[in-house]
Amino acid sequence: EGATGAEASYDRANPGVAKLQETYKSRTGKDLPYLTYMTTTYDGVYLLKEALEAVGEDTEKIRDYLYGVKDRKGLSGSLTIDPNGDPLAGHVLRAVKGGTVEDYTLSSE
C-alpha cells in the first residue's frame, strides 16, 4: 500500500488497444496481462517490421531508420527516437491505493 513507481504510458483512447485486448482474450481465454508493457512490446515489434520493410536487413540501415523515427503513433502513444537512440515517450506515475494500482495524483495535503 502506498508504493509508487513510473511505467510507460499507453494511449487508452486508441481503438487498437481494445482490439489487442480482445484478440488476446479470444485466443487465450484470458485477459491481457501487463497492458502497459504489451502495448510497448506490440509497438516495438511493428516498428522493427516497418524498418525491415523499408530498408531490409542491413543493421546500420535499420539503426539509421530507427534514429529517424519522429512522432510515430502507436498503441503506446507517440514515439520519437533521439540522436542517441533513446526513445522519447511518455511515462505515468502509478501508486498502490486500496490494494489496486491507480494513476498517482498529488494531494493538496
Are the beta carbons of 20 and 28 closer than 8 angstroms? Answer: no
The whole-number pLDDT of residue 43 equals 93
Confidence of residue 105 (pLDDT cuts 50, 70, 90): low
Q: For the range 96-105, what are the long-range contacts, defined as Cβ-Cβ under 8 Å and sequence gap of 24 or more?
A: 96/1, 96/2, 96/3, 96/4, 97/1, 97/2, 98/1, 99/1, 104/4
Residue 102, beta-bridge partner list: 95
Neighbouring residues of 46: CB distance < 8 A, sequence distance ≥ 6: 74
Q: What is the pLDDT of residues 40-88, one digit of tens each?
A: 899 999 999 999 999 999 999 999 999 999 999 999 888 999 988 888 8
pLDDT digits (tens, 9 = 90+) for 75-99: 988 899 998 888 887 777 888 889 8
